Amino acid sequence: MSVLASFMVPHPPLIVPEVGRGNEKQVAKTVSSYEKIAEEIASLKPDTIVITSPHSVMYADYFHISPGKRAKGSFSRFGAPGIRFLEEYDEDLVDKISEIADSEGFPCGTLGEESSELDHGTMVPLWFIRQKYKGGKIVRIGLSGLPLTEHYRLGLIINEAVESLDRRTVFVASGDLSHKLQDYGPYGFAEEGPQYDERIMDVMGRAAFDELFDFSEDFCDKAAECGHRSFVIMAGCLDSRKVRTKVFSHEDVTGVGYGICSFYPETGEDHDRAFLEKYLMNEKEKLADKISRSDIFVRLARLSVESYVKKRRRISIPDDINLISQGDEIPDLLLNTRAGAFVSIHKCGRLRGCIGTIGPTAPSLAQEIANNAVSASSRDPRFDPVTEDELPMLEINVDVLGEPEDIESKDQLDVKKYGVIVYTRDGRRGLLLPDLEGVDTVDYQVAVAMQKGGIKPGEKYYLQRFEVVRHV
Which pTM was predicted? Answer: 0.85
User: Over 70: is that where the pLDDT of 265 sits?
Assistant: yes
Same domain, 166 and 145: yes
For 15-64, the pLDDT digits (tens) are 999 999 998 899 999 999 999 999 999 999 999 999 999 999 999 999 99
Range of the domain at 31: 5-273
Pairing status of strand 48-53 against strand 169-174? parallel
Q: Are residues 232 and 110 in the same domain?
A: yes
130 and 257 belong to one structural domain: yes
Q: Are residues 302 and 444 in the same domain?
A: no
What's the number of domains the chain is made of? 3
Looking at the structure, tell me whether residues 384 and 252 fall in a common domain. no
Residue that terminates a domain, selected from 240, 273, 306: 273
Structural domain contains residue 278? no
Q: Is 445 a residue whose pLDDT tops 70?
A: yes
Q: Which pLDDT does position 244 carry in this prediction?
A: 96
- The answer on 349 and 218 residing in a single domain is no
Mean per-residue pLDDT, 68-86: 96
Residue 442 sits in the same domain as residue 388 = no
- pLDDT beyond 90 at 319: no
Residue 240 lies in a domain: yes
Across the range 402-417, mean pLDDT stands at 94
pLDDT greater than 70 at residue 272:
yes
Mean pLDDT of 223-240: 97
Q: Would 160 be classed as within a structural domain? A: yes
Is residue 203, in this structure, part of any structural domain at all? yes
Alpha carbons 87 and 100: distance in angstroms, whole number = 24
Among the candidates 401, 424, 440, a domain finishes at 401
Same domain, 459 and 346: no
Query: Are 31 and 154 found together in one domain?
Result: yes
Does the residue 441 lie in any domain?
yes
* Mean pLDDT over each residue of the chain, to the nearest integer: 94
Instruction: Look at residue 282 and tell me if it is in a domain.
Output: no
- How high is the pLDDT of residue 291? 87
Q: What is the pLDDT of residue 438?
A: 83
Read off the CATH number of the domain in which 343 is found. Answer: 3.30.700.20
Identify the domain boundary among 343, 368, 401: 401
In the predicted structure, residue 328 carries a pLDDT above the cut 90: no
CATH number reported for the structural domain that contains residue 25 in this entry: 3.40.830.10
CATH number of the domain that residue 470 is part of: 3.30.1490.150
Instruction: For 157-203, write each residue's pLDDT tens digit.
Output: 999 999 999 999 999 999 999 999 999 988 999 999 999 999 999 99
Is 428 inside any structural domain? Answer: yes
Q: Are residues 66 and 127 in the same domain?
A: yes
Inside any domain, residue 263: yes
- Tell whether 224 and 146 lie within a shared domain: yes
Q: Looking at the structure, do residues 396 and 430 belong to the same domain, yes or no?
A: no
pLDDT for the residue 114: 85
User: What distance in Å separates the CA atoms of residue 102 and residue 329, rounded to the nearest whole number?
Assistant: 48
